[in-house]
Structure 1
């Protein structure tokens, strides 16, 4: 990653909740397995994320892994939950930031998402999840949950900036903003051709999305 464009925001790789009744040692093993699974997903893709390879990456026996996660689906569920939580915590912190205008918070959300796209984890993990979701309804549901939560924050900020915009139009605008930023993954993500220009892209996105959120009217969408 270019050193002259440092990140303002850092989204943790995983946000793993406390396990009910779990001892520290048990939590350590649980977290170790999830981090090994994430590393395999980042470095080798979803096909490499088998229970045996995860066990080998942890230096554990397969039985130790299945003690925590009896099936691969349960492991994937926990991994996606931890990934999703890491973003939701950041989104909600910005959404409820005291003293910040809706315009400033929308700009922060845009900056967070576009900066995060520049990380190796995000540039590698999300295309893998998109591929998995084409064939796995469970993954599709979990990935869509993340985007629904992210769009809910955008929706609320748009409502503050443009309270006269009806609900349906506001939801579509939130979708457009979200999809426009996610689409930059293939062009300006980690080690992609336009990564060095991401600071410009962030400024363009913040300026254009705030302006659009302030000024878009229902008639502009529905006329013609």
Structure 2
């Protein structure tokens, strides 16, 4: 199985959402803030990402930061929105790609996710947030929202491959594929024990996922 050249190995870190009545300089400032917050999350963890720490990383006064984000919750909400928008852009390009069969789109979606799991950003960021979500209801809600949005394009492909299944069955298959891939982070993510074997793991995973969707039978 060869990875297609038009499947990016890395997903853009952030796509900053527009705000009503916003202006380009304000958007650039918000992007700078979000990138600083993302860097702190990856390098030092969520607990280090205080508003004052982010302001210092941006070289701005605390009051200037709170002009754009009044609370850390506001900052986290827009940061995770910007992160998932970057994934949605790539997923949509795959799912709605012309001239591809549903199985080819499933393969490309999974390749994109599994490649991304090997990056330092993803290996550090998402386990950190999932661990925190066990104790922080706000982060818990944001993370489930993020993954639900990430699964929607995959659900489209599964539904197209198996229109005979119920909506609940299609969703169950989608969820299984999603958590199976995400679980590989701790074993084959960036600098993990099985990182060198991720290529083989990708091949096994994608063959298994395609067969699962194609051959799944109702109980």
Aligned to 2:128: 128
- Cα shift readout 1:117-158 (whole Å, capped 9, x = no counterpart): 011111011011102221222222221122222322222212
Match of 1:4? Answer: none
Given that 2:158 and 2:213 are in contact with CA atoms closer than 8 Å, whether structure 1 keeps it comes out as yes
1:80 corresponds to: 80
Instruction: With the length of structure 1 as denominator, give the TM-score of the two structures.
Output: 0.90
| Equivalent position SS for 2:109 | helix
- Kindly indicate whether the alpha-carbon contact (under 8 Å) linking 2:80 and 2:146 is maintained by their aligned counterparts in 1: no
Deviation, 1:24, is 2.6
Alignment-derived partner of residue 200 in structure 2 = 200
**SS at 1:16 equivalent:** coil
Secondary structure of the structure 1 residue equivalent to 2:97: coil
- 138-147 or 27-36: which moved more? 138-147
CA contact (8 A) 2:81 2:146 kept: no
Contact 2:94 2:105 in 1 (8 A): yes
- Contact preservation (8 Å) 2:84, 2:150: no
Unaligned runs of 5+ in 1: 1-6, 220-224
Q: Which residue does 2:4 correspond to in 1?
A: none
Gaps of 5+ in 2: 1-6
Q: Which moved more, 1:115-124 or 1:167-176?
A: 167-176
Contact 2:118 2:195 in 1 (8 A): yes
- 1:151 aligns with 151
Structure 1 residue aligned with 2:17: 17
- Confirm whether residue 97 of structure 1 aligns to residue 91 of structure 2: no
Q: State the TM-score, normalized to the length of structure 2.
A: 0.92
CA distance in 1 between counterparts of 2:35 and 2:151 reads: 27
Q: What's 1:39 paired with? A: 39
SS, match of residue 218 in structure 1: coil
Distance, in Å, in 2 between the alignment partners of 1:166 and 1:31 is 41
Could you list the structure 1 runs, at least 4 aligned residues long, displaced by more than 6 angstroms after superposition. none
Name the residue aligned to 1:222.
none
The one-character-per-residue Cα deviations of 1:51-85 (angstroms, maximum 9, x if unpaired) are: 11111111111111111111111111111111111
Judging changes above 3 Å, is the alpha-carbon distance between structure 1 residues 25 and 162 closer, same or farther for their aligned structure 2 residues?
A: closer
1:157-168 aligned at under 5 Å gives the runs: 157-168=157-168
Number of corresponding residues: 213
In the alignment, what sits opposite 1:174? 174
Distance in 2 (CA, whole Å) between partners of 1:160 and 1:72 is 40
